[in-house]
Structure 1
Amino acid sequence: MGVMRPDMVMRSIIPVVMAGVLGIYGLITAVIINGKMDAATYSAYSGYAHLGAGLTVGMSSLAAGLAIGIVGDAGVRANAQQPRLFVGMILILIFAEALGLYGLIVGLVVASTAEGKGKGLCSPYNV
């Protein structure tokens, strides 16, 4: 893209940046889960809730990344031929990014409800 159309380089980076944001969603979730871990009070319920939160964010980001990759590839190629398709590409990328954002929201809700619950539901694992 940069060789044939140097004026379109900045527009072509947008799908890459949007895919990188999905990795930041996982980092945010990992930091929040890590901050809530305490060896003295960590129950099995909290562990399963944190596992579910991580899987939720990870799988939704995987699906969003796949969608962003497909749309980004086709959109950048189409944008090189017809620049008026740029707005449509951005709209589709935003809808694909929403999948990852919804997963982040659900993962944060699941991770935040894990604290303080489950003491009677799941017994802790003792060695």
Structure 2
Amino acid sequence: MATLTPFFAPAGGGGFVNYTCYGTSNTPQGWDAGDWPDILLNISPYTWASLGIVMALSLSVLGAAWGIWITGSTLVGAAVKAPRIKSKNLVSVIFCEATAIFGVIIAIILQGKLSDISVGENDKAPSAICATLFYSGYSIFWAGFAVGATNLASGITVGISGSGCALADAQDPSLFVKILIVEIFGSALGIFGLIVGIIMTQNAQF
């Protein structure tokens, strides 16, 4: 059972100000001692939320960089033999970069949900405050993970398909548009993750 404790007590009382939640088993000594699931409650909800923001941004940028690495190196190599492909195949690089933009967007949205705790004496009970904090922390964490993972997969998918698109276009220009459709569907994966992440955190608020 998580409890609420103050960082400091304001002079003259006056309600709950700057409180934090923590669990009941801080130092379990072995598998049979303490409440192991409660260890998660000893991690600050702000830590969970911050980790979610970090994963959303870092995994998205990693996916974009990985995709650009794959498709960019192939494009440069194929353009040596077929210079005509270097301009229109840059759209593959743009699709890869879009996954990083999705990560930046969700990171800004999630960061806007973080704020200091300031609860007046007529507001929610400590247990309700604690539940709200952990709900917000976990939802932001998993939303960030979901967005980051989908953008990572999307970036790699677009990179590989973009690489194939450049090679196919170098051999047969009529294949460019057909393979570009595959890239568009791969890029849509990142949009799905972004939408789900926003929905997951719509009720999260510190």
Q: Same fold (TM over 0.5)?
A: yes
Is 1:62 matched up with 2:148? Answer: no
After superposition, where does 1:69-88 map in structure 2 within 5 Å? 69-88=159-178
What's the counterpart of residue 25 of structure 1? 102
The higher radius of gyration belongs to: 2
Aligned residues: 116
SS of corresponding position for 2:79: coil
CA deviations over 1:14-64 (Å, ceiling 9, x no partner): 111101000000000000111110121671211111111111110001111
Give the Cα separation in 2 of the matches to 1:76 and 1:107.
32
Contact 2:113 2:204 survives alignment (8 Å): no
What's the counterpart of residue 102 of structure 1? 192
Higher helix share: 1
CA deviations over 1:88-111 (Å, ceiling 9, x no partner): 111000110111110000011112
2:182 to 76, 84, 92: 92
Answer 1 or 2: higher relative contact order, Cα 8 Å, separation at least 6.
1
Q: Which runs of 5+ in 2 are unaligned?
A: 1-77, 119-131
Higher strand share: 2
1:10 to 55, 63, 87: 87
SS of corresponding position for 1:112: coil
TM-score of the two chains, using structure 1 as the length reference: 0.84
TM-score of the two chains, using structure 2 as the length reference: 0.53
Give the Cα separation in 2 of the matches to 1:11 and 1:86.
9
Give the Cα separation in 2 of the matches to 1:74 and 1:7.
16
Q: Which runs of 5+ in 1 are unaligned?
A: 117-127
Question: What RMSD in Å do the two structures reach over aligned CA positions?
Answer: 1.5
Contact 2:85 2:166 survives alignment (8 Å): no
What's the counterpart of residue 111 of structure 1? 201
